[in-house]
Amino acid sequence: MKHFRWVICLLAVFALVAASCGGNDDDDSGSGAPDAAPTAVHDDSMDDDMDDSMDDDMDEEMDDSMDDDMDDEMDDSMDDDMDDSDAGPVATEEPEVDPCASVELQATDIGVSEDTISILVMADVENPFAPGLFQGAIDGVNAWAERLNSEGGIACRQIEVIEHDSKLTAIDATNGFLVACERAFAMIGTTSLFANDTSDLQTCPDAQGNDIGVPDFAYITTEPTHQCSVVTFATSRPNSECPYEGTGPRVVQSQVGHAQWVLENVEPDLHGLYLVPTDLASTITSTMPQVRSFQEIGVVIDAEPGVSGLATQAEYGPYLQAMAEANSNFAYTGSNDQSIIKWRSEARAQGFDDEGVIWMCQLACYTPTFLEQGGDTVEGTYVWLWFLPFDEVDQNQELADFMDSIGKEFPEAWAAGSWAGGVLFEQVVNEIVAEGGPNAITREAVLEGARNLASFDANGWWSPADYTTTQNIMPCFMLLQVQDGAFARVHPQERGELDCDPDNVVELTRDWAAEFGG
Amino acid sequence: MTFGLRRSVVVTAVVAVAIATVIAVFTWAGTPVTAKTFLNATYIGLTLGALWAMYATGLVVVYTTTGVFNFAQGAIGVFGAFFYWELQMNRGWHPILALFVVVFLFAPLLGICLDVLVMRRLRTAPLVVQLMVTVGMMVFLISLVGTIWNANTPRWVNAFFKDSGGIDLGPAQLTWHRFIVFVTAVVVAVILRFLLYKTRIGTAMRAVVDNRELAALNGARPNMVSSLAWAIGSMLGALGGILIASELEFNPSNLNDIVIIAFAAAAFGALRNLPLAVVGALLLGLLRQHTETWLNFGTNFSKAHLGIAPLLLFAVVVALPQARLEVGRVVSNLRRRERYTNWWEGLIGCGALMLCAVMFSGGWLNFGIWDPEAWGGPALNSANAAMALALIGLSLVPLIGWAGQVNFAPLAFAGFGAFVYLKLAGDTGNGYWIPLVGLICAPLGALVALPAARLRGLYLALMSMAFAQGMALIFFPHEWVIPRIGVGRQFSHIELFGITFDDRRGYFLLMMSVFVIGVYGLVLLRNSRYGRRWMAMHGSQAAAATVGIPVVQTKVVVYAVSASLAGMAGVFWATVAGNLSAGQDFDLLNGFQIVLLIAAAGVSIPMAGIFLVFTPLFTGLSHRLEDTGNVGFLVEILDQLVVLGPGLLAIGMVFNPRGAIFEMGRGFSPILPWRSDARAEIAAENAQKREPEIGELGLERPFTPEEVIAIDRRLGILDEVVPKEGYGAARS
Amino acid sequence: MALLEAEQVVMRFGGVVALDNASVDVDPGEVTGLIGPNGAGKTTLFNVVTGLLPPTSGTVKFDGVDITRAGVSRRSQMGIARTFQKLEAFNTLSAFDNVRVAVEKNHRAKWKHQRVNDVAHGMLGKVGLDDVADVTVGTLPTGSARLVELARALACRPRVLLLDEPSSGLNEEETTAIGQLLLGLVADKDNDLAVLLVEHDMSFVMGVCARIHVLDFGKIIAVGTPIEVQADTAVRAAYLGSDEFRGAYVGVDE
């Protein structure tokens, strides 16, 4: 009993502390926070971490690999790439002409003050059963903001990052939208799996009281409600028709370039298994279009069994039986790195002869774990990406900046995705500023700008994507293969290149939920 | 009796096989049947079964010797596996050394600590407390593992003899790791069987649970025996965890999920029979693997094969013979008096609550936590979510709090209610359908309770768990039940009295009104003959039966009432969320958390539901602190508290089985002007504290007769009755 | 014909025979005793009669009807009430509510609140617990809780009342009062009540019982009046060295 009284007392004390600190906080902001420390506590610690660990390790690493000729290389590659970057960063790099000096900065909209722009990054981090889940997404945005601020900020203001943890729950995701609505100019790098209700996001009033919504430069969108949100611009582009009611036929585009390449260059008679992740209905419906698209281009699907993230390695046995029965030479998983590790480990355990079998996986396998844990078991596995791999820092400035800032040798994909969200925001805002000056930034203008963005490629790092529609998938890809325990580029052979053949994309209209037969 | 047992087993088995055959025929995947395929599935099935058997034997050993069903068995395995990872993978110890240290040093130590610190105190505790504490331990251990070993770092554990191929058995092959697993499980089961039935200590272990005092007289040392049992159980858990780790994606919840399958296996052995539990586990492994191999369930039933364990548990519960009503388990000498809120106190309390709600929703009461400008959004949203859970929690009050029956499936019932509402009201949001939802949910509750109500309370708890699992895996994922999330809301805003409750403030007040009505209704119900009857049944089922209360029937009725309340609450829950995700919202662990929180809050008191509203307050607090800066360590502590809190609160029930609200009420009630009884009680308690302790008396001198009487009275012992005349006269 | 008859009851627990062809009959209008050394099977017989244990073989008849397969609550509704050796009170309820539950279950459903309360209070009054009516039973001393159980059993309007060591936990005066109460109850022809009493307090047993069954190792070794039973050699042998029986001699000698 005493324990509970103690907890209640503690609660009361904390509440008092919070209340009093809150007062101070408001006073501070009222009197105008000094420019020196516009970011939150976490950013400071991030900063320290980076200074300490990353600068040492990373710089050395990069120096080794890049032979100090990064700048030259970069210029070349930028020219090689399809799109040139915009004037934004260049403008801020010129110290003598300060466009901000002549303008009196105003608080133009919610989250924009005279000297800061507040953006909110939301991701599933803390939850009792996988604490720290998408921390990488938050780190990515913090790193991006840090870098931008150190280069002089954007729209003559510094970026202030508000972190929100959506905790793998729908309620906390909605809370994130609500906090963003009240305090942030935009959301960047949203990585929340259960953003099941976006009405608050889409109808949030701006400073004028118009219910136009909060611009949401998300990384992933899992449910139609988020994919089809009119204010969401996910950097991993949804490839599906909007609006969509959740049932019935839907137009979906799929990237098949990697399979096409295998058909053309490795195995013309490609037939095998596609594992469909079945833990959520949404994973089934988002995977089936690719299965059908593979069939469209001539890949024979011998079976398309469902697979659960909870499956034991032993449960991959039946898939191998099916492969043996059909004499399959193709094995593709729509699930993650663990899926292919378990699959191939089981193959080894059963003495399955996988000579000539093409194992393939998507972005989810592009992890250091895949190499370390998989070891020689995963040798030869193909992995395809829609951006330049992390080791090609010499090929692209944006990638180099990202790798320099994130402080990890092999960052998570969601760190890259949320960083790209930041770059997208940067591009849209810079265009607005270029046109109407630093006081032209409003949520409305940002939404307008993003909706008319026909091509964004994260300054050449990512496949270009069309933000005017949700239906168009990113057309470019590159293919890696695990060779000698490392990811080696196999196509296109030229470093810094993505394959952007229009034939990479297949468009189909089906009722995808009904497609999965198991 | 034995005939009845056999008949029920045979009937259940026949029905189960028939149903399984029908399912198999309809879902046959068309995989060609070859010896290799068949043998492979069989070997792998046996391996999986052996792993589950290890968990199940741990459960059985602990249950037969201490009478505590250890829900934390899987979590102990998780802890063991992570510790093994730390030593072997992270620090590079030799696998054998790491295995030895974890299984033979760390695990027994953990088991003994658990026993000494917590579990030993559960021996005489009511079932509800036993369950809450072990489930709390499970949640706590898992979140502790998550806290120590951050999930951001990818981890894995290598199989033993990973690279040395395997042994050929017929056309199929078995890896060394799996071979070891199978052999280990069988050897362990045989050794334990021998230990329990052929050795002195084993006999003592089995004897202690039945009659502790008698066993102690015969030379067994109950505390040592109980520690030994926990050490063995914990070793088995750790061993199982380590051995299965290489087969799974290595994370706490994945490793823990296995234990639910082991529950079914243990139930197959009626929780006490080791060989049968092992057989059950192997059977489950074979069923699972052969299902995977030969059958195919399609999109809507894509997780059905995972539902085999809950279904088997269901079948076992149906087949088990009726349990006897136990006598002699009533723990008397409550330290505190129980006093029930009467009707006008209930009115005052509800009024006060409503007032707080109005103030909160109006922004006048923000607990110092929410940004005054920002309370309207996230604060109300969180409060709404919490209110919906509080409403669901309300359904547990009569069931767990009064009738002493445990239900781990409140979310399954709530989800069913939401489903019924969706079918009835469609997208109109017509709130007048809600009572009908309640009526439809009641029979479902009765149906779940019916097979288990004739058994001991633990089975009802397991049954509810199986039900929750089964619904989450088989029922809710079906598109017809919960439609896929589309652009809009699955569940329209509720419309009542011509008002559409589409803003959060209005909705909060609506739910608070419903909650207050619910609380008041429960206050009245508790003071009715039904409430009394249920509490009487909780006090002593045997005695309740002997005053004419049909126990099974009463349990079923309470379950139905609870299901009905949960179903109606589910409508509010679903409309708060707008969308329900079959994969996420019905997770068993979510249900556990609700039950734990409300039990720790004091589930016999209807108002306890409001405790669930505190949870987001914690969260909000941490956000607020984060914004204020410079209190990073407080944020850390609070974040840990949010993660570890539910488990810890539930474990705290060992020391305070009646919950926080009860104690708070005791502290609060003397302030109320009309509660002179509460003041008197406190005064009496203080007076009693001044009485000399027994230890202070008579140690240096003989007891005086007055002291003997005082001691007897304190101990509740009666005086020697000196024979006396007088009855004879009365008779004549 | 006796009101309650247990005939040739056998109860086995695994290899242990707790009751071995035990037969007991109880008549209305008197108190029947059931005595025997510890572990003789007295409580087991109670459990068989009230339905808590299904006998391995044998029959239980109530008012001529075979109730061997009837459920516990059904038997209660027929008029079999009991108390327990180890307390089985409804701990979280008040003394009054303990009795009220029984009244509500065993009297007419139409009864008004007030009438239920009156009856319940009456029962509590009979056992002398008026002043602790509102106290939670779990906090009462064992003796008082035992009396609550007695009042609760009486509130079931029993035709047969099975009392398992009612005097344990009570002091002398209380024991005497219980004895008087029982004799008063069976003497009242309107009640038509039969009492079966298990008791260790021999003076109490000898004082109130008209007939006594003696159980030893599950077998009935003697049946008769108190005087007959005390004279029985088998009974003396069974109790040899046992303190329990010494009291009985004292009681009778006086």
Q: How far is CA B309 from CA B75, B201, B285, B407, B469, in A?
A: 18, 33, 9, 18, 9
Task: Please check whether residue A368 touches B, CB under 8 A.
Answer: yes
Interface of A with B in 465-484 (CB under 8 A): none
Nearest-neighbour CA in chain B from A183: distance (Å): 8
Chain A to chain B Cβ contacts (< 8 Å): 285
The four Cα atoms A337, A338, A340, A344 give a dihedral, to 10 degrees, of 140
pLDDT the model gives residue C20: 87
Mean pLDDT of B298-313: 78
The parent domain of residue C120 ranges over 88-157
- Kindly state the percentage of chain A with pLDDT values over 90: 23
Does one domain contain both B65 and B109? yes
Q: How far is CA B518 from CA A146, B386, B395, B434, B633, in A?
A: 52, 16, 9, 14, 40
pLDDT the model gives residue B548: 86
Does one domain contain both C20 and C108? no
| pLDDT surpassing 50 at residue B724 | no
Does one domain contain both B436 and B312? no
| pLDDT surpassing 90 at residue B671 | no
Nearest-neighbour CA in chain C from B335: distance (Å): 6
Please name the residues in contact with A469: beta carbons below 8 A apart, sequence gap of 6 or more.
none
With 0-12 CB in 10 A as exposed, 13-18 as middle and 19+ as buried, what is B22? exposed
The ipTM, to two decimals, is: 0.88
DSSP helix/strand/coil, B108: helix
Does one domain contain both C151 and C167? no
Mean pLDDT of B201-215: 71
In a domain, A21, yes or no: no
Question: How sure is the predictor about B414, in pLDDT bands with cuts at 50, 70 and 90?
Answer: very high
Does one domain contain both C178 and C139? no
Question: How sure is the predictor about B483, in pLDDT bands with cuts at 50, 70 and 90?
Answer: confident
Does one domain contain both B368 and B262? no
What are the chain C neighbours of B676 within 8 Å (beta carbons)? none
Contact between A128 and B244 using a beta-carbon 8 Å cutoff: no
Does one domain contain both C201 and C236? yes
Nearest CA in chain A to B384: A171
HEC sequence for A436-469 = HCCCCCCHHHHHHHHHCCCCECCCCCECCECCCC
CA distance linking residue A408 with residue A404, whole number of Å: 8
Please name the residues in contact with A283: beta carbons below 8 A apart, sequence gap of 6 or more.
A276, A277, A334
Q: Which backbone phi and psi does A186 adopt, to 5 degrees?
A: -155, 165
Does one domain contain both B441 and B535? yes
Of B610, B636, B659, the domain-final residue: B610
Contact A428, A446 (CB under 8 A): yes
Nearest CA in chain A to B585: A169
What are the chain B neighbours of A373 within 8 Å (beta carbons)? 154, 156
Nearest-neighbour CA in chain B from A316: distance (Å): 9
Residue whose structure tokens are 């900063």: A47
pLDDT the model gives residue A217: 93
Mean pLDDT of B608-626: 60
* Bond preceding residue A243 cis, omega within 30 of 0: yes
Q: How far is CA A444 from CA A53, A105, A117, A202, A470, in A?
A: 40, 18, 15, 12, 19
In a domain, A257, yes or no: yes
HEC sequence for A361-430 = ECHHHCCHHHHHHHHHHHCCCEEEECECCCCCCCCCHHHHHHHHHHCCCCCCHHHHHHHHHHHHHHHHHH
CB atoms within 10 A of CB B681: 18
In a domain, B27, yes or no: no
Q: What is the pLDDT of residues A66-106, one digit of tens each?
A: 444 444 444 444 444 444 444 444 444 444 556 677 778 88
Interface of A with B in 121-160 (CB under 8 A): 126, 128-133, 135-136
DSSP line for B401-438: IIS----S-HHHHHHHHHHHHHHHHTTS-BGGGHHHHH
In a domain, B686, yes or no: no
Q: What is the pLDDT of residues A176-210, one digit of tens each?
A: 898 888 889 999 999 988 888 888 899 888 888 88
Does one domain contain both B583 and B506? yes
pLDDT the model gives residue B342: 73
Residue whose structure tokens are 């394959």: A499
Does one domain contain both B215 and B282? yes
* Bond preceding residue A492 cis, omega within 30 of 0: yes
For B302, the enclosing helix (H) or strand (E) is none
With 0-12 CB in 10 A as exposed, 13-18 as middle and 19+ as buried, what is A335? buried
pLDDT the model gives residue B215: 66
Nearest CA in chain B to A376: B163
pLDDT the model gives residue A240: 85
Contact between C92 and B730 using a beta-carbon 8 Å cutoff: no
pLDDT the model gives residue A421: 93
Q: What amino acid is encoded at B619 in this protein?
A: T
Rg of chain A over CA atoms, in angstroms? 24
pLDDT the model gives residue A52: 43
Question: How sure is the predictor about B617, in pLDDT bands with cuts at 50, 70 and 90?
Answer: low
Interface test with A, best of B88, B161, B163, B249 (most A CBs within 10 A): B249
Chains that touch A (3 or more CB pairs under 8 A): B
pLDDT the model gives residue B624: 53
| Beta strand residue intervals within A98-199, DSSP E | 116-123, 158-165, 186-188
Question: Are chains A and B in contact at 3+ CB pairs closer than 8 Å?
Answer: yes
Nearest CA in chain B to A129: B253
Does one domain contain both A349 and A328? yes
What are the chain B neighbours of A25 within 8 Å (beta carbons)? 627-629
pLDDT the model gives residue B558: 92
| pLDDT surpassing 70 at residue B675 | yes
Nearest partner of C137 among B665, B338, B129, judged by Cα: B338
Q: How many domains does chain B have?
A: 3
Contact between B548 and C156 using a beta-carbon 8 Å cutoff: yes
CA A506 to chain centre: 23
What are the chain B neighbours of C138 within 8 Å (beta carbons)? 332-334, 338
Contact between B299 and A281 using a beta-carbon 8 Å cutoff: yes
Does one domain contain both A259 and A292? yes
Contact between C156 and B539 using a beta-carbon 8 Å cutoff: no
Mean pLDDT of C39-63: 87
CA distance linking residue B145 with residue B138, whole number of Å: 11
Among A129, A175, A196, beta carbon nearest to B378: A175
Task: Please check whether residue A7 touches B, CB under 8 A.
Answer: yes
Residue scoring higher pLDDT (A114 or B686): A114
Question: Are chains C and B in contact at 3+ CB pairs closer than 8 Å?
Answer: yes
In a domain, B556, yes or no: yes
CA distance linking residue B326 with residue C202, whole number of Å: 29
Does one domain contain both C171 and C249? yes
CA distance linking residue B371 with residue A256, whole number of Å: 49
pLDDT the model gives residue A63: 43
In a domain, B512, yes or no: yes
In a domain, B60, yes or no: yes
CA distance linking residue A222 with residue A283, whole number of Å: 8
pLDDT the model gives residue A222: 81
Does one domain contain both C70 and C25? yes
What are the chain A neighbours of B371 within 8 Å (beta carbons)? 22
Q: What is the pLDDT of residues B511-558, one digit of tens each?
A: 888 998 998 898 888 888 888 899 888 888 888 888 888 888 899 999
What are the chain B neighbours of A181 within 8 Å (beta carbons)? 377
For A154, the enclosing helix (H) or strand (E) is none
| pLDDT surpassing 90 at residue A122 | yes
- Kindly state the percentage of chain B with pLDDT values over 70: 80
Q: How many domains does chain C have?
A: 2
Contact A133, B151 (CB under 8 A): yes
Does one domain contain both B312 and B351? no
Lowest-confidence range among B564-578, B594-608, C30-44? B594-608
Give the DSSP letter of residue A123: E
Question: How sure is the predictor about B237, in pLDDT bands with cuts at 50, 70 and 90?
Answer: very high
Mean pLDDT of A371-390: 90
Give the DSSP letter of residue A138: H
| pLDDT surpassing 60 at residue A55 | no
In a domain, A1, yes or no: no
Task: Please check whether residue B41 touches A, CB under 8 A.
Answer: yes
Does one domain contain both A199 and A310? no
pLDDT the model gives residue A330: 92
Mean pLDDT of B645-661: 75
Does one domain contain both C9 and C20? yes
Does one domain contain both B312 and B359? no
HEC sequence for chain C = CCCEEEEEEEEEECCEEEEEEEEEEECCCCEEEEECCCCCCHHHHHHHHHCCCCCCEEEEEECCEECCCCCHHHHHHHCEEECCCCCCCCCCCEHHHHHHHHHHHHCCCCCCHHHHHHHHHHHHHHCCCHHHCCCEHHHCCHHHHHHHHHHHHHCCCCCEEEEECCCCCCCHHHHHHHHHHHHHHHHCCCCCCEEEEECCCHHHHHHHCCEEEEEECCEEEEEECHHHHHHCHHHHHHCCCCHHHHHHHHHHHC
Mean pLDDT of B193-213: 77
In a domain, B33, yes or no: no
Q: What is chain B's mean pLDDT, rounded?
A: 79
In a domain, A378, yes or no: yes
Nearest-neighbour CA in chain B from C79: distance (Å): 9
Nearest partner of A443 among A435, A453, A451, judged by Cα: A451
Question: How sure is the predictor about B426, in pLDDT bands with cuts at 50, 70 and 90?
Answer: confident
Contact between B721 and C201 using a beta-carbon 8 Å cutoff: yes
Does one domain contain both B228 and B165? yes
In a domain, A19, yes or no: no
Q: What amino acid is encoded at C3 in this protein?
A: L
HEC sequence for B556-572 = HHHHHHHHHHHHHHHHH
Nearest CA in chain B to C99: B547
Q: What is the pLDDT of residues C94-105, one digit of tens each?
A: 888 999 888 888
Q: What is the pLDDT of residues A316-360, one digit of tens each?
A: 888 888 888 888 999 999 888 888 998 998 888 877 888 889 999
Does one domain contain both A197 and A340? no
pLDDT the model gives residue B727: 39
Nearest-neighbour CA in chain B from C70: distance (Å): 12
pLDDT the model gives residue A19: 38
Q: What is the pLDDT of residues A240-256, one digit of tens each?
A: 888 887 778 889 999 99
Task: Please check whether residue A25 touches B, CB under 8 A.
Answer: yes
Nearest CA in chain C to B336: C139
Nearest-neighbour CA in chain A from B387: distance (Å): 12
HSE-up (13 A, CA, CB side) for residue B459: 27
Task: Please check whether residue A278 touches B, CB under 8 A.
Answer: yes
Does one domain contain both A288 and A147? no
The parent domain of residue B422 ranges over 343-610
Question: How sure is the predictor about B443, in pLDDT bands with cuts at 50, 70 and 90?
Answer: very high
Does one domain contain both C163 and C146? no
pLDDT the model gives residue B337: 64
The 8 Å CB, 24+ separation contacts for B550-554 are B550/C71, B550/C73, B550/C74, B551/B325, B551/B453, B551/C72, B551/C73, B552/B453, B552/B454, B554/B403
pLDDT the model gives residue B305: 77
Mean pLDDT of A461-469: 88
Task: Please check whether residue A284 touches B, CB under 8 A.
Answer: yes
| pLDDT surpassing 70 at residue B435 | yes
Nearest-neighbour CA in chain A from B703: distance (Å): 35
pLDDT the model gives residue A490: 92
pLDDT the model gives residue A145: 93
Among C51, C91, C180, beta carbon nearest to B332: C91
Nearest CA in chain B to C107: B548
Contact between B487 and A228 using a beta-carbon 8 Å cutoff: yes
Nearest-neighbour CA in chain A from B690: distance (Å): 20
Q: How far is CA B658 from CA A6, B335, B336, B477, in A?
A: 16, 11, 10, 37
**CATH number, domain with residue A154:** 3.40.50.2300
Does one domain contain both B352 and B288? no
Task: Please check whether residue B7 touches C, CB under 8 A.
Answer: no
pLDDT the model gives residue C249: 42
Put simply, whether the predicted model's pTM sits higher than 0.90 gets the answer no
pLDDT the model gives residue C143: 81
The parent domain of residue A125 ranges over 105-236+393-452
Does one domain contain both B447 and B501? yes
Among B32, B34, B663, beta carbon nearest to A5: B663
Q: Which backbone phi and psi does B345 adopt, to 5 degrees?
A: -65, -40
Does one domain contain both B159 and B277? yes
pLDDT the model gives residue B106: 92
Task: Please check whether residue B693 touches C, CB under 8 A.
Answer: no
Question: How sure is the predictor about B730, in pLDDT bands with cuts at 50, 70 and 90?
Answer: very low
Lowest-confidence range among A147-156, A327-336, B315-324, B634-643? B634-643
| pLDDT surpassing 80 at residue C46 | yes
